Structure 1
Amino acid sequence: MDDEDLYGGYNDDDSPFNTDNLTYDSQFQQAVAKTSAGRRPPPTSMRGLQTTGFNKQPVQIGKPGVPGTAMRRGTASGTGGRPMTAVVGAGFNSSKNMVAGIDPSSSITITLEPKIETEEEKIKNLEKNVSQLAEESCFAAEDNDKLAAMEKAKEAYKKERLILKQREEKNLTDQANTELTGFILLNVACQYANANNFAESLNIYNILTKNKIFQLTGRLKTNIGNIYYEQKQYLKAIKMYRMALDQIPITNQELKLQIHRNIALSFVKMGQFADAATNYEIIFKDRPDLKTGFNLLLCYYALGDRNRMKQCFLELLKIPMKIPDDDDYQAHPTDQQANLVLEVTRDDKLRRYERKKKRQIDHCIVTAVKLIAPAIESDFATGYEFCIEQVKLSEYKDLAHDLDIQKAIVYLKAKNFNMAIETLKDFEKRDVKVASSAATNLSFLYFLENDFQNAHKYADLSLKADKYNPAALTNKGNCFFAEKEYERAKHYYEDALKIDASCVEALYNLGLAYGKIGLYEQALDQFFKLHAMQRSNTQIYAKIAEINSKKSDYDQAENWYMQALRAHPKDSELLKCIGNIYDEQGDRSQAFQYYHDAYRFDPSNLQTIEWLGTYYIDSQYPEKAVEYFEKAALGRPHQVKWHLMVASCYRKSGNYAAALEKYKQIHYRFPENTECIKFLVRICSDLGYTQEAQDYATKLKKAEKMIEVKQARISSSDKRKSIIKGRKSIFEDQDVPLLQHQESKESVTRMSSSRGGSGKKNIDLNTDDTTILENRDEEAQNVQHQDFLGHVPRPQTSKVRKNPNPVTTFDVDAADLLPD
């Protein structure tokens, strides 16, 4: 059986892409002859030569009926006639310097005539440059470079004016580009508005709206309304917005809703909440969203309409969240490919945007609850319970636990600590996450009350429920920091940052702990990280400056204090710190300038007053120092220190009469102060008041003896208590180790209570020892006399009879209490 030809029959029909027989196709040749290719004459240098181009008649070379070399296979067959070559026949040569049919050695030259641009083309090119310049102005405005945007907009406006003049000169005004003119004017108006040059912007907008050639006047009216809104001319703004609503077609519904929102904001600024609520209702009915619903709720709250507040809150909870849950990003147990995709998408830009949107939605709902809860019912608790129940029935049910915690925080702000603690303790029986959050808040609550024992307890409970809770770790570190265990506090802060590197509380407190330990470089590293996260927080500036000041790097300290001072130029503490830096460097004149500015903004600061008074005393101007110390004495009348300094200034300025009078007043109010009595003895002796000097000398001796007796009684009382405690320890039936454990526990309890007690007084480390002693003397004046020796009788005297009436205070003459 013969083999079949598998490809037979494929070439029986002519393919439409086969060009071998087109030369012999008469219809095709007639069609080509009617085109420009068929009518094209041959070049002048090639006249008389036959070409292969299509002419009116088909060109045949060689024998009739035999195709040329370009149309058949091979050229070696001697069928008669010269074989035709496509290159030579077309007038081309393989040489680079050859032009078809032209000898390069001949004297003939070819010149190309330049293309001549018409006036219209020149103007079109200029318009392109102007349009590009205007676009650059828009990009600069987008980058918030207002100066560059304004310069480019003005330059584009000037060039566009020149183009219009050229058209008028060339009588080409009919072809003017009105769209470019409108774009240039609109851009200039926008840049003027961005630069707060509202007058020029309004002039250009008026030109655009009055010219009927320019379209979209409704949008222009909206921009004019925005300018009036910025100028706080809200009535004119509302008028323009309403005119824009009339001119914008109904098809552009989104823009109309935006204008309604602007009208509502204008009414809110004017305090017309009913009209604002009407516009918000229009928006909320057509396009409900959380922002509009929350603003509508605020308007109802301002109007005091309880029913509408409830209804609006319920409608607010019906708005869908449209954000995927965290469960959608959980790892798949078997699908590894899906897990790889999740690793990529778990923290991409879209996921970060979703988290941000989720936080905004949660904040909106929680704020709405805190706002209306006290207003929709007769009391806060009932209204809050209503809101929480409605949230639990809605899509936002995950916020119910947060709202319960917020309820405890509201009680805390109202200083209702019992209700706050009771509310938070209810979370201990709930799920782990909620219990951890509640324990964290309880720990912080007890920390604010200086109850560090319970603060430690609930911080440990929170960590037990969730050991990766950065807030609980921070609270635990805060407790150790307050107990001055900075190393342990540092450990917890570092653990919190390992879990959440963006925990600003832990980062800030870690910097403080490093500063307390003396690791200033590490402290600066923490504050620099915090500064990168919160650029506008001037408190961080002050802390960085403080650390540099402790390192004696005064230049850096001054630099950071100055940056903080630019944000708060009237902060007296910053001015005082800068003055202290100059004082440390020995530049007291510059330091005086900053301390004086600090005094102007805060004239009641005792440290500033003391420094200024001391400065005038050192400068030999005690009469000026009197002014400052008198204000200090007026602010702290129970502190003898300031009264003594006033009297000292009188004495140093030579005004002994005023000094004597002041010392007498001090002695009358503080009769036990020996320093005052010493100065009275000295001044009276200098002025020749011998009798008074002797009297004050006698009082001085009695006062000194009284202080000695008081100290002796205190020391003897302490010895007696120690003896009694030792006797009790001998007759105790309990074991010694147990007793030591109880005593140590009691001492810890006493330390905790002393830290948290309101009676503890902070001692300023900047004050000297004399100040502390004077304060103790002052406190001793208000303490009633107690017999520290218990039943031990008072020593008998031979000359003075025992007073039948017991003396209970130090207000009487000290001679009645002391033996002669």
Structure 2
Amino acid sequence: MANICPIKSPHKALILAEAYEHKEAYRPALNIYQSLVKNSEISLRVKINLGNVHFKLQNYPLAIKFYKMALDQVGQNKKNIYSKIMHNIGLAFIQQKQYSEAAFVFAYIIKESPDFRAYLHLILCWFALRKIAKIRRSFSDLFSLPKLDTKVEEIAKLIILISPLIEEVEEDGFNWCVDVIRITDYAWMADNLEIARIVELMRKGNLAEALKFLQKFEMNVKHLTENSRINLSFVYLHLKKLEQVENLLKGCTKPKAYNNYGVLKFLQKDYIAAEKAFHIANDSKEEIYEASYNLGLVQRKLGDRKQSQEIYDTILKQYPFPYNLMMFGLSNINDPGVLRNIAKLYKNLSNYKMAKWFFEEAFAVNPLY
């Protein structure tokens, strides 16, 4: 069939190919990219895009080939672009379980333009290779960065992963990591990481261990960010230490703080105050799923069953599974522990299709959970 409206401009062809790629129509995208790869004006962008498409198609050797072609063209003078392409090469090696090659790539990035992601993936490579000394060295070097573009939660997940490997006793591994951080410019993270460990243990149902670390933490607490105060209030809510919850939440203005405050008032049977707090959390720009559920719960307590049912109907339309988040302790829908708990609930209800879906989601979020 003749091409009725041929695309003469390579720039227009590139836009079309990127549109195909965005729509996940990878074959037509590849065809156009291949026709443009020798065009000197746009060849760098085309080679990077070819690498990206082959990566998405899991053709990792081809992805690496095109990324390397792009590297040859961009040169090391443009460090930012060079580093990003190198990072993609490292990820392609990881996907092929070529961890030594990936580690070489990430070590190079760190030498030239270090950042958190490069350190994270380097540590994960050393973890896969069981190189304990190199894990320790890279972890220590990570906190020499002038700026960490990450959240405490990500650091916590990394520590939880490596702790059982770097020491014979997991607790000793965790303590070693926290001690490293305490003597850096990121010392403020240490207390927040302790809280993250306690919350993780509680979500896994290991209450005895959580209490042990909580008692130790209470004796040594120093600096707390608002997020940490909110997380710690979550711990105290489950322990029914309501006075501590109220003190921790004073001055907190984030939606999750209002949700926890609403739970506090609910437990104190002050349903009017609880309703007000859940409304504030629910009306925020953030999606606080538990606030919606809890609002329905408190309105049922206040006798407004119609409004309560409308809230639950809305939740079920948006999320086709039960969100009793006070029960599960859910903080976000990417929590593998919560996803597994929901899967178990569906299994108990003999809804094996939904159970399978949630188990797979939990695995996708964190295969090691």
- Above 0.5 in TM-score? yes
- Equivalent residue, structure 2, for 1:514: 299
- Equivalent residue, structure 1, for 2:196: 406
Contact in 2 for aligned 1:267/1:276 (Cα 8 Å): yes
Output the CA distance in 2 between the equivalents of 1:191 and 1:467.
49
How far apart are residue 287 of structure 1 and its match? 1.0
- Equivalent residue, structure 2, for 1:186: 14
For residue 233 of structure 2, what is the amino acid of its counterpart? T
Note the 1:391-402 alignment, pairs <5 A.
391-402=181-192
- Equivalent residue, structure 2, for 1:550: none
Q: Percent identity?
A: 23
SS for the counterpart of 2:37 is helix
Residues 600, 267 of structure 1: alpha-carbon distance in 2 compared, 3 angstrom cutoff: closer
Contact in 2 for aligned 1:428/1:439 (Cα 8 Å): no
- Equivalent residue, structure 2, for 1:209: 37
Can you list the C-alpha shifts for 1:419-477, whole angstroms capped at 9, x where unaligned?
Answer: 3213213344456975966863443343xxxxxxxx1xx11233246545636534434
- Equivalent residue, structure 2, for 1:373: 163
Can you list the C-alpha shifts for 1:154-184, whole angstroms capped at 9, x where unaligned?
Answer: x9x92655xxxxxxxxxxxxxxxxxxx2213
How far apart are residue 234 of structure 1 and its match? 0.9
- Equivalent residue, structure 2, for 1:440: 233
Which structure would you say has the larger Rg? 1
Output the CA distance in 2 between the equivalents of 1:389 and 1:518.
52
Output the CA distance in 2 between the equivalents of 1:394 and 1:599.
50
Residue ranges of structure 1 left out of the alignment (5+ in a row): 1-154, 162-180, 323-356, 447-454, 544-570, 578-597, 603-820
Residues 517, 261 of structure 1: alpha-carbon distance in 2 compared, 3 angstrom cutoff: same
- Equivalent residue, structure 1, for 2:333: none
Output the CA distance in 2 between the equivalents of 1:189 and 1:500.
41
Can you list the C-alpha shifts for 1:604-628, whole angstroms capped at 9, x where unaligned?
Answer: xxxxxxxxxxxxxxxxxxxxxxxxx
Contact in 2 for aligned 1:432/1:466 (Cα 8 Å): no
Residue 491 (1) aligns with residue 261 (2):
no
Aligned-CA RMSD value: 3.9
Q: Which of 530, 533, 537 is the matching residue for 2:319?
A: 537
How far apart are residue 506 of structure 1 and its match? 4.0
Output the CA distance in 2 between the equivalents of 1:539 and 1:501.
22
Contact in 2 for aligned 1:264/1:279 (Cα 8 Å): yes
Residue 505 (1) aligns with residue 290 (2):
yes
Residues 433, 500 of structure 1: alpha-carbon distance in 2 compared, 3 angstrom cutoff: farther
Q: TM-score, normalised by structure 1?
A: 0.35
Output the CA distance in 1 between the equivalents of 2:223 and 2:108.
41
**More helix, by proportion:** 2
Output the CA distance in 1 between the equivalents of 2:352 and 2:145.
54
SS for the counterpart of 1:158 is coil
- Equivalent residue, structure 2, for 1:460: 243
Note the 1:109-120 alignment, pairs <5 A.
none
How far apart are residue 509 of structure 1 and its match? 1.0
Residue 158 (1) aligns with residue 158 (2):
no
How far apart are residue 382 of structure 1 and its match? 0.8
Residues 526, 304 of structure 1: alpha-carbon distance in 2 compared, 3 angstrom cutoff: same
Q: TM-score, normalised by structure 2?
A: 0.72
Contact in 2 for aligned 1:241/1:259 (Cα 8 Å): yes
Residue 280 (1) aligns with residue 106 (2):
yes
How far apart are residue 242 of structure 1 and its match? 1.8
The farther-off stretch of 232-241 and 242-251 is 242-251
Contact in 2 for aligned 1:229/1:266 (Cα 8 Å): yes
Kindly tell me the number of residue pairs found equivalent between the two proteins. Answer: 321
Output the CA distance in 1 between the equivalents of 2:108 and 2:276.
52
How far apart are residue 256 of structure 1 and its match? 2.2
Residue ranges of structure 2 left out of the alignment (5+ in a row): 326-342, 355-369
Contact in 1 for aligned 2:143/2:184 (Cα 8 Å): yes
Output the CA distance in 2 between the equivalents of 1:307 and 1:513.
53
Note the 1:545-694 alignment, pairs <5 A.
none
Larger relative contact order (CA 8 Å, sep ≥ 6): 2
For residue 191 of structure 1, what is the amino acid of its counterpart? A
Output the CA distance in 2 between the equivalents of 1:516 and 1:274.
59
For residue 404 of structure 1, what is the amino acid of its counterpart? E
